[in-house]
Amino acid sequence: MQNNIPKNTDVVIIGAGPAGTSAATHLVKAGINVVILEKTQFPRQQVGESLIPHFWKFTDALGVSDTIKAEGFINKAGGLSIWEEKVQQILFSDFGYTRSGLHVERDVFDDLLLKHSERMGAIVFQQINVQKVDFSRPNSPAIYFSDQRNSEKKQGIINCTYVIDASGHRSLLAQQFKCRHLISPEKNFLALWGYFKNSRYAGTDYRSHSMRSIKKNRPVTFIMSYKEGWLWHIILRNKASVGLIIHPKHAKNFNKQQREIFFKQQCQSLPYLKDLLSDARFIENSISHRPDYSYYSTQLCGENYYCIGDAAAFTDPIFSHGIQNAFYNAALASCTIQASFNNPLKRQRYSQLCASRMQQYYYFSSALSLGDLNQNTHQQALVQSLMKTMPALELELMLAAANTTNRSENFKKLAIKAGIWNNFIAKSQGESLTQLTQLDF
**CA distance linking residue 366 with residue 361, whole number of Å:** 9
Q: Which positions ≥6 away from 253 have C-beta within 8 Å? A: none
Contact 116, 65 (CB under 8 A): no
Domain boundary among 333, 367, 401: 367
Q: Please, which pLDDT band fits residue 146 given cuts at 50, 70 and 90?
A: very high
On whether both 119 and 41 belong to a single domain, the answer is yes
290-303 pLDDT, tens per residue?
Answer: 887 788 899 999 99
Q: Which of 54-68, 145-159, 414-428 has the lowest mean pLDDT?
A: 414-428
Q: Please, which pLDDT band fits residue 433 given cuts at 50, 70 and 90?
A: very low
Q: Please, which pLDDT band fits residue 430 given cuts at 50, 70 and 90?
A: very low
209-258 pLDDT, tens per residue?
Answer: 999 999 899 999 999 999 988 999 999 999 999 999 998 888 778 888 99
**CA distance linking residue 53 with residue 35, whole number of Å:** 30
Find the angle CA(353)-CA(359)-CA(364) to the nearest 5 degrees: 130
- Could you list the beta-strand ranges (E) of 211-297: 220-226, 229-235, 240-246, 281-282, 288-290, 295-297
- Mean pLDDT, range 77-84, rounded to an integer: 93
Is the pLDDT confidence value at 435 over 60?
no
**CA distance linking residue 387 with residue 411, whole number of Å:** 10
- Mean pLDDT, range 171-200, rounded to an integer: 90
Q: Which of 85-94, 230-239, 390-399 has the lowest mean pLDDT?
A: 390-399
Task: Read off the CATH number of the domain in which 430 is found.
Answer: 3.30.9.100
Decide which of 96 and 131 is more confident: 131
On whether both 117 and 167 belong to a single domain, the answer is yes
Query: What is the amino acid identity at position 322?
Result: G
pTM value?
0.92
Return the pLDDT at 422: 73
Q: Which positions ≥6 away from 141 have C-beta within 8 Å? A: 12, 133, 134, 135, 159, 160, 161, 162, 163, 304, 305
On whether both 281 and 168 belong to a single domain, the answer is no
Compute the Cα dihedral for 204, 210, 215, 219 and give only its sign.
positive
Rounded to the nearest 10 degrees, what angle do helices 377-389 and 347-370 cross at? 90
On whether both 327 and 338 belong to a single domain, the answer is yes
On whether both 173 and 272 belong to a single domain, the answer is no
Q: Please, which pLDDT band fits residue 78 given cuts at 50, 70 and 90?
A: very high
**CA distance linking residue 354 with residue 336, whole number of Å:** 7
Q: How far is CA 231 from CA 83, 125, 166, 440, in A?
A: 10, 36, 27, 18
DSSP string of 312-344, one letter each residue: TEE--GGG--HHHHHHHHHHHHHHHHHHHHH-G
Contact 201, 233 (CB under 8 A): yes
CA 390 to chain centre: 19
**CA distance linking residue 271 with residue 235, whole number of Å:** 17
Query: What is the amino acid identity at position 357?
Result: R
Rounded to the nearest 10°, the torsion over CA 237, 240, 241, 243 is 160
**CA distance linking residue 235 with residue 277, whole number of Å:** 11
Is the pLDDT confidence value at 129 over 70?
yes
On whether both 348 and 308 belong to a single domain, the answer is yes
Q: For the CA atoms of the chain, what is the radius of gyration?
A: 22
7-26 pLDDT, tens per residue?
Answer: 999 999 999 999 999 999 99
Is the pLDDT confidence value at 38 over 60?
yes
Domain boundary among 344, 367, 390: 367
| Of 8, 89, 7, 104, residue with least CA distance to 55 | 104
Return the pLDDT at 418: 80
On whether both 176 and 220 belong to a single domain, the answer is no
Return the pLDDT at 356: 93
Query: What is the amino acid identity at position 301?
Result: C
Helices and strands, counts by H and E, the chain: 13, 25
| Of 247, 4, 29, residue with least CA distance to 117 | 29
> Three-state SS for 290?
strand
On whether both 381 and 283 belong to a single domain, the answer is yes
Q: Please, which pLDDT band fits residue 425 given cuts at 50, 70 and 90?
A: low
**CA distance linking residue 32 with residue 324, whole number of Å:** 24
Pairing of strands 123-126, 34-38: parallel
On whether both 174 and 285 belong to a single domain, the answer is no
The edge-to-edge listing of strands for the beta sheet with 128-134 is: 128-134, 142-147, 154-159
Is the pLDDT confidence value at 415 over 90?
no
Domain count, the chain: 2
On whether both 26 and 134 belong to a single domain, the answer is yes
On whether both 397 and 424 belong to a single domain, the answer is yes
- What H or E segment, with its residue span, contains residue 156? strand 154-159
Q: State which residues form the domain around 387.
A: 50-104+189-291+373-441
324-377 pLDDT, tens per residue?
Answer: 999 999 999 999 999 999 999 999 999 999 999 999 888 888 877 776 655 567
- What H or E segment, with its residue span, contains residue 12? strand 11-14
On whether both 194 and 64 belong to a single domain, the answer is yes
- What H or E segment, with its residue span, contains residue 435? strand 434-436
Task: Read off the CATH number of the domain in which 145 is found.
Answer: 3.50.50.60
Decide which of 348 and 1 is more confident: 348
**CA distance linking residue 152 with residue 435, whole number of Å:** 61
Domain boundary among 326, 351, 367: 367
